[in-house]
Amino acid sequence: MRTLVLASSSPYRRELLQRLRLPFDCASPDIDESTLPGESAEQLVRRLAEAKARALAERFPNHLIIGSDQAAVQGPAILGKPHTLERAVEQLKASSGASVTFLTGLALLDSNSGRCQVDCVPFKVHFRELDEARIRRYLEAEQPFDCAGSFKAEGLGISLFRSTEGSDNTSLIGLPLIRLVDMLLAEGVQIP
């Protein structure tokens, strides 16, 4: 079996991929993640997932390379990673009582043949009504400043939700494993 490479430095994606019990390496791609003029959130995450995988193709010439990228969308706005407490407070205030759709782009590149499977997996989160005191308590406890949408669904962030909807809850954390298994099977990978 060819070695898998996760084109990411995300500990969240690494933990998810470990669930499949397949050996893999990790390497961080160095790409520009800026949105292109007129690019939709779905186009953005698809393009970046593939770009991340392709960025490592020369370094890993006979591998299956997994790229993934995520954007949170509320109405027409793309919510990025907040990076600061105050931006996280503003994101969660805007999400209070509302719905946010997470779009996770996924790419599986056969670096030997150049063949690349690309998809986008949506997942919707419906937030509870959140007051500022609750938002600040949550942010101080978990500090999700490197997470799109300002929460960690795999942690205490789940307490902020009224409900969720989607075909693969792992897409919310950043690596849709159900779709990835489909892609790996199409490449002949044996999943335990």
Q: Tell me the per-residue pLDDT of 173-188, one tens digit each, with 9 for 90 and over.
A: 889 999 999 999 999 9
Please name the helix (run of DSSP H) or strand (run of DSSP E) that holds residue 124, with its range, or none: strand 116-127
Mean pLDDT of the chain: 94
Please name the helix (run of DSSP H) or strand (run of DSSP E) that holds residue 127, with its range, or none: strand 116-127
pLDDT number for residue 53: 98
Q: What is the DSSP letter of 2?
A: P
Instruction: State how far the Cα of 71 lies from the Cα of 155, in Å rounded to an integer.
Output: 19
* From 25, 69, 119, 131, the catalytic residue: 69
Q: What are phi and psi of 65, to 5 degrees?
A: -110, 130
Residues across the chain: 192
Active-site residue 25, yes or no?
Answer: no
Bridge partners of 122, per DSSP, are 103
Q: Tell me the per-residue pLDDT of 134-192, one tens digit each, with 9 for 90 and over.
A: 999 999 999 999 888 899 888 899 999 999 999 999 999 889 999 999 999 999 999 98
Q: What is the pTM of this model?
A: 0.90
Domains in the chain, start-ordered, CATH in brackets? 4-186 (3.90.950.10)
Angle of helix 177-186 relative to helix 11-18, nearest 10 degrees, comes to: 60
